[in-house]
Amino acid sequence: MKSGGNGISKRQRAKMKLRRRSKIGVAPGTIHTDPNAEQTAIRVMCYSPQAVHEQAVTRVAEIAPLLDKWAVVWIDVSGLGTATSISQLGDLLQLHPLALEDVVNVHQRAKVDVFLDHLFIVARASNPGEGYNTEQISFFLKAGVLITFQERVGDSWDPVRERIRSGRANLRSGGVDYLAYALLDSVIDSYFPIVDSIGDQLDQYDEELSQSDPQTQFHGLHEVRHKLLSLRRAIRPHRDMVNELVRDDLQLIKLETRVFLRDCFDHVIQLLDLVDTYRELTADLREFQMSMVSNRMNEIMKVLTVISTIFMPLSFIVGLYGMNFDTRSPWNMPELTWRYGYPFALSLLVATVCGMLYFFHRKRWF
Amino acid sequence: MKSGGNGISKRQRAKMKLRRRSKIGVAPGTIHTDPNAEQTAIRVMCYSPQAVHEQAVTRVAEIAPLLDKWAVVWIDVSGLGTATSISQLGDLLQLHPLALEDVVNVHQRAKVDVFLDHLFIVARASNPGEGYNTEQISFFLKAGVLITFQERVGDSWDPVRERIRSGRANLRSGGVDYLAYALLDSVIDSYFPIVDSIGDQLDQYDEELSQSDPQTQFHGLHEVRHKLLSLRRAIRPHRDMVNELVRDDLQLIKLETRVFLRDCFDHVIQLLDLVDTYRELTADLREFQMSMVSNRMNEIMKVLTVISTIFMPLSFIVGLYGMNFDTRSPWNMPELTWRYGYPFALSLLVATVCGMLYFFHRKRWF
Amino acid sequence: MKSGGNGISKRQRAKMKLRRRSKIGVAPGTIHTDPNAEQTAIRVMCYSPQAVHEQAVTRVAEIAPLLDKWAVVWIDVSGLGTATSISQLGDLLQLHPLALEDVVNVHQRAKVDVFLDHLFIVARASNPGEGYNTEQISFFLKAGVLITFQERVGDSWDPVRERIRSGRANLRSGGVDYLAYALLDSVIDSYFPIVDSIGDQLDQYDEELSQSDPQTQFHGLHEVRHKLLSLRRAIRPHRDMVNELVRDDLQLIKLETRVFLRDCFDHVIQLLDLVDTYRELTADLREFQMSMVSNRMNEIMKVLTVISTIFMPLSFIVGLYGMNFDTRSPWNMPELTWRYGYPFALSLLVATVCGMLYFFHRKRWF
Amino acid sequence: MKSGGNGISKRQRAKMKLRRRSKIGVAPGTIHTDPNAEQTAIRVMCYSPQAVHEQAVTRVAEIAPLLDKWAVVWIDVSGLGTATSISQLGDLLQLHPLALEDVVNVHQRAKVDVFLDHLFIVARASNPGEGYNTEQISFFLKAGVLITFQERVGDSWDPVRERIRSGRANLRSGGVDYLAYALLDSVIDSYFPIVDSIGDQLDQYDEELSQSDPQTQFHGLHEVRHKLLSLRRAIRPHRDMVNELVRDDLQLIKLETRVFLRDCFDHVIQLLDLVDTYRELTADLREFQMSMVSNRMNEIMKVLTVISTIFMPLSFIVGLYGMNFDTRSPWNMPELTWRYGYPFALSLLVATVCGMLYFFHRKRWF
Amino acid sequence: MKSGGNGISKRQRAKMKLRRRSKIGVAPGTIHTDPNAEQTAIRVMCYSPQAVHEQAVTRVAEIAPLLDKWAVVWIDVSGLGTATSISQLGDLLQLHPLALEDVVNVHQRAKVDVFLDHLFIVARASNPGEGYNTEQISFFLKAGVLITFQERVGDSWDPVRERIRSGRANLRSGGVDYLAYALLDSVIDSYFPIVDSIGDQLDQYDEELSQSDPQTQFHGLHEVRHKLLSLRRAIRPHRDMVNELVRDDLQLIKLETRVFLRDCFDHVIQLLDLVDTYRELTADLREFQMSMVSNRMNEIMKVLTVISTIFMPLSFIVGLYGMNFDTRSPWNMPELTWRYGYPFALSLLVATVCGMLYFFHRKRWF
């Protein structure tokens, strides 16, 4: 069970490292797709307050005619394995090559890059089933067009799509920036269940620690600290990123949307606050555990010392009367020939034990 | 006693986690009441410098006519269980839906949100009887109207109500912003008794630690650290919140009231300062305790070593004279047949003990 | 001696806690004097470059006629037990009620509050005889008038009074802001002897630690850390307070005086720097002490192990020859009947000891 | 193996120290070459969008005619051993003497110095084969001319040179500031493989720690912490340096290039973030390891205590029946003469063992 | 050797404390010379680009005529024991009395005070021979005049004087601000050899720690940490001081000189960076050492446990056969009368040892 847990965590941890697949010194802006990346699939969703149109796209060229017809065009790209599709999209929508390079190099921290006529936003979504692993989600925000890039097919955006289709809430009338907010918000909120589950785990450790053997949870606490370290590393850059979207005077983000982004910012702060609190809590738990271990050591040593201190003098006394001195001399252990020599020796032993017990009592060991 | 204490603290700690009840991706601004929340009860208090009017309200519509008649209308909502009442209030007073969502999602950090014609203020009040648990108090401040939302019926605002009724002090003439200050001030001051009681507890630990067995307070210190962590997490956001109310040029808060809010800010700083000082103090106490435990371990080991070092050679000597060599050969333990062999052996034992004691004395173990 | 020291420190420590005597929710600006506070005594000192006038005042009304006659009027109030005197002073000089409330609630941090026509300054003076305990000193600075409030009769300002009387130095010609500076400077400088004495104590600990038994100073170090924590808490707010007096464009403080306040600011920084350095030093000393304790433990364990390792085999060998096998069979311990059996056994014992000593030598235990 | 590793690391660590070879008090701006430095070799690469010209230069005077002919002249100086060449270069291109002094004093932190008509940029490149050791790379950026100084012949810039020669990408058309960016970017990216390898090492430690004896990795962890400390010290100043290049309004750096420098800044932040994360991770691993060692100690002590507690009473009992009391008195150990005395004694021994095992079972030691 | 080292360090450490010799409350600006201070000696060096004039001055009045005649007048005062000379200098050059008070109160932190027509700069120089001890160097910078105050006769400025005399470099033509820079630079550079020697010491500790007994370096590491604490405390204020000289728009410092001061600022940053790095390194080394001590403890305990676990059962067995049961009953230890009883017992002993060794092997203790 435990080794299995460690095995999994090790695999996940391997993802924490940032790997620069592009060779050092090559031209920036080159798109190097990862050979293991999933095949690219493109799905376009266009809407105006009145209507919605959804379409799976196989060739990038199919997108061009949609761009002017609809108020909002959301091009959702899943899988980053097909370099041609991605660079064609970049050409069609005139996306900056440096940003496109970052899209496929999926080890970016969350950030906003402001280009002349578009914003490039990187966020990282948690993958609840995989622990440490986070997925890079890239957004390009242009007037009327939002392009999103996800590492894998399958996401947590179906509720947003449903809201667009149903026309409820103000998503349909909200513009492309409001759509970006709605998607970003659900990316950030995806961390809450993970952080909550860590909180539950810590509660359980705390309770177990107060009741049972302190030695069983070292591995668990170490794993949790590791997880919190990864989470903080993933979440923290979102703070600056969302803050930049709220504060900076960016034309592409309307004033009304900023109120919502501020709410999103509050969520990031809440997450970071929780992660930091839990990290301090694990440190406290570890210290508590170490003091329990020290206490236990003291207890073990007390048992050893009590036993030794009682039985060593006893063994000495019985050894004394085991000496083979010639008892014919009256100076040589006359007790051995006494009629009540043995009862006398037993009394001596009992007196020694009592004396030792009194000594320990005075030392408050009992 | 101890397990009971832990049981309580565990239940309270469970509240530290932030739970997002709204599903990820749903439209922002939707009011999802907690099924376990108390039923909503509304109480309106209207006053002008000359008169006071109090009224328990069952239907939100009853409030409308009061709004224009009185200089200050305080709508106090207790219990967040009835979604309809809350959304009707929101409609009546044109409160921002995002703020209303935060009212019922009672895991917000203290904050101020500035909307066009109203302020939304979140504070967290301590519940002295329940330790870690804090209650979210939301304020909407509009021209002439203050709406407060509390999680539970029953609060610490009766002295403020009494001051309004009596017409003493300058509450009646002070405007709606002064009322908000007075309520906020009593929310913040509610932390002082809790922090004071932690200080008393630490004093007691410190005294006990100097006098008795160091092992008894590990649990207590751990609990106190946990409590201080929760308190800091609850109090810290108030600093930014009150500071924003003082500094920002908010039309709804008059200059005269800012002097009082600055006083309130001082209280928050005092609280944080105390919590941080106490947290450092617990760290010092823990270190002190660990060094006491180490010392005690040394003392135990000394006893064991002294006893072993004295009795092992003794046991060896008596064992030596217990050997069964044939004493007929003059080379085989002639002492056994001496007339004074036994007294000689005893002298040897005494000399050994004295030698050992001298050794320990030189090592400064006594 | 030690328990006495702890007893004192505990009493003092009790003062670290901030107690809000005013009940939560009552009107701000109400003066609640502490029933244990000393009776209020008022002493007025008026001077101009040419003349000095001193007067003990029993009724506040006696002060009014002095106000216009003299260039500088210093009203020094000792003891905060008489609410009427304090509120009459407040009325006479039109002091802000919130500030007056802070005067009697003697647990403020050092701060400056700027009111329309007066400054309210809170400082905390050390009481050298009482360790942790600091005394709140409040200043009201108005054009031509300085009011100081001290908790107790008796202070360290006699040198300042003497300088006023003698007319030496530039105090008499310096205005009310220079007087405030002179008093504040002596309040802050009162911390230097305390911090110096802590430095001496740490030097002594450091020396003792290098020479003697490490276990004796745990209590002392813990006390010093506690004291430094209290000192930092008391001194740190002065930094912001004095800085505000220096930087802000306050009409009541002349440019010439700011040069002197900057000097005062340097002293606060020096104090904080020393306190922080000493706190790091105590942490280092504690770590050093713990490593000495660990070393001592190792040494104790080595003695135990060496003794056990030498005597256990010896005891086994002598026990072996103490077995009662029938020596008539030639297979049963023939050594017992040898002529040189005993010398052979002794050689075996000596060989064992030598072997063990060689083993420890190779392990570098000697 | 291990000692070899330590030997290497020690040699490398020696490089961490900053040695000021210039004597204190001598005139600033003097060029003191290190006698151990490599001989200076100069290589010039000139290009315009249309053409490229490469030339190895032996005398500095050969460079002058190239300066006006080409759009971009890159003077690459390897080895800092020849003072005359360096000062001639300084004279030819009017470089500031303070900057030239820093070029040969190869212990600078990364920085930018802005002079009237040129920028002086210091960066430090990692040397993958040598661990801690970093190499100082200095850049002078003037209109149309870039001078780079490297400590050693041989670098990681060949891909950049190849890009210039091939005319692909936008290097040829990019100006001297874009060339500086390209070189700086490859210097910074040279840290990624080192940081990645540390990550791999930590993964391996973590896994080993969970499975085997905790004592084997103390040296390794200590080495890694040391390495991370050196890396952070080397990388951190690059943050401010690149940031200054991006933010400040420097004429020599075109707006288009700043977009690329911002990308470079992101890489520095990523590196620092990784180094800090790994440093926290090593601290966690060390704590985890220490708790494993404590646990192991507890386990060892348990074995000792169990063995002692079982055999000490047994030895006492057998010693008791080894006493030589005269069995002719009926009071003196009648068991010795019983027919079933020995089986009785054996039962006593077995009962003692069972009692002890029950005691340990209740203490949950098994 | 060691105790001698501690003795020295204690004496030096005594200097870390700040002693305010002026009594609390006395007038600021009074010059209280330390009775132990050296007698004041004044040396004037005047120069213009064309000529140099040096003169030892006994009466302050001799300086006046030089002031107008020379472009730069450097008045170098060594020893602060003669109050009259110092106050006469202050009167002659109209130096601010607060600054003069700081000159003789030699426990200032490095700082700049800006007065109307002069700058007051305090720096602290290291005294290589005395470890912790730093010397206060005060500078007054006026138009055309630089006054320096040193605690002791004898300094490290002879190279600067030589540069003035020789007329080389740009010192003679550089103005009084450049002279101040040159002196300040050599004061700051005086810390490099000390910091370098600490680095060498740490390298040596690190190497020793990996190879030998970990217990020998506790004292040394503690001393180094102490030294680094003092160094950081001395050096850190120079950062703000030099930065203020570079950034602030001070008329007395020419633009050309600022470039050099920026270089000086880089050196301070380098020093602080090294001190902080070394402090982290000592913390790492201490942790490493503690883990080595823990390991060693484990090793010692293992030896004890192995020995006890092997010999306790053996002693039990030989004790068993030493019991005096009457062997005439066939139930009482028939082995004793067997022909091969003793070999049987020996086999039992050997079997026990083998069993134990197998047990330890399985526990991986070998």
Contact C9, C226 (CB under 8 A): yes
Question: What are the chain C neighbours of B291 within 8 Å (beta carbons)?
Answer: 218, 286, 289-290, 293
Give the residue-averaged pLDDT of E80-107. 89
What is the distance between the alpha carbons of residues B85 and B65, in angstroms, rounded to a whole number?
Answer: 17
Biggest alpha carbon–alpha carbon distance for chain D: 126
pLDDT tens-place string over residues A150-165: 988 877 788 889 888 8
**Amino acid, res. E285:** L
Using CB atoms, which chains have 3+ pairs under 8 A with B?
A: A, C
Calculate the dihedral angle through the C-alpha atoms of B279, B284, B290, B296, rounding to the nearest 10 degrees.
-140
Contact B49, B92 (CB under 8 A): no
pLDDT band at D337 (very low <50, low <70, confident <90, very high): confident
What is the distance between the alpha carbons of residues A156 and A161, in angstroms, rounded to a whole number?
Answer: 10
Question: What are the chain A neighbours of D274 within 8 Å (beta carbons)?
Answer: 17-18
Q: What is the DSSP string of D115-177?
A: -SSEEEEEEEEE-GGGTT-EEEEEEEEETTEEEEEESSS--S-HHHHHHHHH--TTSTTSHHH
pLDDT tens-place string over residues D60-89: 888 988 988 899 999 999 988 888 889 899
Give the pLDDT confidence score for residue E351 in this predicted structure.
93
Inter-chain contact B326–C318, Cβ cutoff 8 Å?
no
Among residues D227, D229, D232, D225, which one has the least CA distance to residue D271?
A: D232
Give the residue-averaged pLDDT of A314-322. 89
Among B111, B222, B312, select the one facing A288 at the smallest CB separation. B222
pLDDT band at C110 (very low <50, low <70, confident <90, very high): very high
Contact B227, B5 (CB under 8 A): no
Where helices occur in E248-339 by DSSP H, the ranges are 255-320
CB contact E262 to C (< 8 Å):
no
- Name the helix (H) or strand (E) containing D235: helix D218-247
Ramachandran quadrant class, E175 (left: phi over 0; alpha: psi -120 to 50; beta: rest): left
Distance from CA of D26 to the nearest CA of A (A): 40
Inter-chain contact C284–E339, Cβ cutoff 8 Å?
no
Considering Cα of C290, then C293, then C299, then C304, what sign does the dihedral take? negative
- Name the helix (H) or strand (E) containing D77: strand D72-78
Q: List the single residue in D with minimal CA-CA distance to A29.
A: D169
Inter-chain contact B25–A329, Cβ cutoff 8 Å?
no
- Name the helix (H) or strand (E) containing B262: helix B255-320
Question: What are the chain B neighbours of A168 within 8 Å (beta carbons)?
Answer: 27
Among B196, B295, B312, select the one facing C293 at the smallest CB separation. B295
**Amino acid, res. B303:** V
Among D157, D211, D291, select the one facing A290 at the smallest CB separation. D291
CB contact D59 to E (< 8 Å):
no
CB contact A113 to B (< 8 Å):
no
Question: What are the chain B neighbours of A345 within 8 Å (beta carbons)?
Answer: none
Give the pLDDT confidence score for residue A333 in this predicted structure.
78
Q: How far is CA B364 from CA B265, B303, B350, C290, in A?
A: 57, 13, 21, 19
Considering Cα of D159, then D162, then D163, then D168, what sign does the dihedral take? negative
Among B26, B111, B321, select the one facing A159 at the smallest CB separation. B26
Q: How far is CA E315 from CA A108, C321, D95, in A?
A: 68, 11, 86
Q: List the single residue in A with minimal CA-CA distance to D280.
A: A229
First and final C-alpha spacing in chain B: 39
A-B C-beta contacts closer than 8 Å:
183
Q: List the single residue in C with minimal CA-CA distance to E234.
A: C273
Residue C364 confidence (pLDDT) above 80: no
Among residues D268, D285, D110, D129, which one has the least CA distance to residue D199?
A: D285
Chain centroid, CA A313 distance in Å: 57
What is the distance between the alpha carbons of residues B280 and B287, in angstroms, rounded to a whole number?
Answer: 11
pLDDT tens-place string over residues C147-182: 999 988 877 788 889 888 887 667 888 889 999 999
Encoded tokens for A133: 């692993």
DSSP state of D207: H
Residue showing tokens 């405007």: B175
Distance from CA of A199 to the nearest CA of B (A): 6
Q: Which residues contact B203 (CB under 8 A, 6 or more apart)?
A: C10, C13, C14
Give the residue-averaged pLDDT of E247-262. 87
Question: What are the chain B neighbours of C96 within 8 Å (beta carbons)?
Answer: 259
Inter-chain contact D284–A115, Cβ cutoff 8 Å?
no
What is the distance between the alpha carbons of residues D111 and D114, in angstroms, rounded to a whole number?
Answer: 10
Biggest alpha carbon–alpha carbon distance for chain C: 126
Among residues E213, E212, E201, which one has the least CA distance to residue E282?
A: E201
Using CB atoms, which chains have 3+ pairs under 8 A with C?
A: B, E
CB contact C293 to B (< 8 Å):
yes
Pairing between β-strand D145-150 and β-strand D72-78 as defined by DSSP bridges = parallel
Q: List the single residue in C with minimal CA-CA distance to E295.
A: C298
What is the distance between the alpha carbons of residues E360 and E44, in angstroms, rounded to a whole number?
Answer: 81
CB contact A256 to B (< 8 Å):
no
Give the residue-averaged pLDDT of E114-130. 84
Encoded tokens for C72: 């500088």
More confident residue, D218 or E189: E189
Question: D34-50: buried (b, 16+ CB within 10 Å) or exposed (e) per residue?
Answer: eeebbebbbbbbbbeee
Question: Which residues 16-45 of chain E have a CB within 8 Å of chain D?
Answer: none
pLDDT band at E214 (very low <50, low <70, confident <90, very high): low
What is the distance between the alpha carbons of residues E189 and E182, in angstroms, rounded to a whole number?
Answer: 11
pLDDT tens-place string over residues B209-264: 777 665 566 788 888 898 899 899 999 999 999 999 988 778 889 988 998 999 89
Residue B5 confidence (pLDDT) above 60: no
Inter-chain contact C269–E96, Cβ cutoff 8 Å?
no
- Name the helix (H) or strand (E) containing C118: strand C118-126
- Name the helix (H) or strand (E) containing A164: helix A158-166
CB contact B262 to C (< 8 Å):
yes
pLDDT tens-place string over residues C7-28: 334 434 444 444 444 556 667 7
Among D195, D207, D316, select the one facing A315 at the smallest CB separation. D316
What is the distance between the alpha carbons of residues B63 and C212, in angstroms, rounded to a whole number?
Answer: 79
Give the pLDDT confidence score for residue C1 in this predicted structure.
34
- Name the helix (H) or strand (E) containing D44: strand D41-47
CB contact A332 to D (< 8 Å):
no
Q: What is the mean pLDDT of chain C?
A: 84
Give the pLDDT confidence score for residue D28 in this predicted structure.
72
Contact B192, C18 (CB under 8 A): yes
Inter-chain contact B316–C318, Cβ cutoff 8 Å?
yes
Pairing between β-strand C145-150 and β-strand D52-57 as defined by DSSP bridges = unpaired
CB contact C96 to B (< 8 Å):
yes
Among C96, C109, C303, select the one facing B273 at the smallest CB separation. C109
Q: Which residues contact D91 (CB under 8 A, 6 or more apart)?
A: none
Distance from CA of A28 to the nearest CA of B (A): 36
Residue B106 confidence (pLDDT) above 70: yes
Q: What are phi and psi of E44, to 5 degrees?
A: -110, 140
CB contact C213 to B (< 8 Å):
yes
Give the pLDDT confidence score for residue E156 in this predicted structure.
79
Question: What are the chain B neighbours of A316 within 8 Å (beta carbons)?
Answer: 311, 314-315, 318
Residue of E299, E320, E361 to mutate, interface with D, max D Cβ within 10 Å: E320
Question: Which residues 133-192 of chain A have a CB within 8 Å of chain D?
Answer: none
Question: What are the chain A neighbours of D320 within 8 Å (beta carbons)?
Answer: 318
Q: What are phi and psi of C124, to 5 degrees?
A: -125, 125
Give the pLDDT confidence score for residue E18 in this predicted structure.
43
What is the distance between the alpha carbons of residues E173 and E165, in angstroms, rounded to a whole number?
Answer: 12
Residue showing tokens 């006769």: E153
pLDDT band at E169 (very low <50, low <70, confident <90, very high): low
CB contact E298 to C (< 8 Å):
no
Inter-chain contact B294–A292, Cβ cutoff 8 Å?
no
Question: What are the chain D neighbours of A16 within 8 Å (beta carbons)?
Answer: 199, 277
Ranges A199-208, B143-152, C43-52: which has the least confidence? A199-208
Considering Cα of A197, then A198, then A203, then A205, what sign does the dihedral take? positive
Inter-chain contact D338–E323, Cβ cutoff 8 Å?
no
Give the residue-averaged pLDDT of C216-245. 88
* Helical packing angle, B97-104 and B83-93, nearest 10°: 150
Inter-chain contact B331–C321, Cβ cutoff 8 Å?
no
For chain C, the C-alpha Rg in angstroms (whole number) is 35
- The ipTM, to two decimals, is 0.80
Among E277, E281, E295, select the one facing D215 at the smallest CB separation. E295
Contact D74, D149 (CB under 8 A): no
Contact E238, E244 (CB under 8 A): no
Inter-chain contact D159–A28, Cβ cutoff 8 Å?
no
Residue showing tokens 């501690």: E6
Question: What are the chain C neighbours of B189 within 8 Å (beta carbons)?
Answer: 20, 24-25
pLDDT band at E5 (very low <50, low <70, confident <90, very high): very low
Q: List the single residue in E with minimal CA-CA distance to D312.
A: E312
pLDDT band at B267 (very low <50, low <70, confident <90, very high): very high
Give the pLDDT confidence score for residue B6 in this predicted structure.
38
Distance from CA of A61 to the nearest CA of D (A): 25
Range with top average pLDDT, A43-57, A126-140, E147-161: A43-57
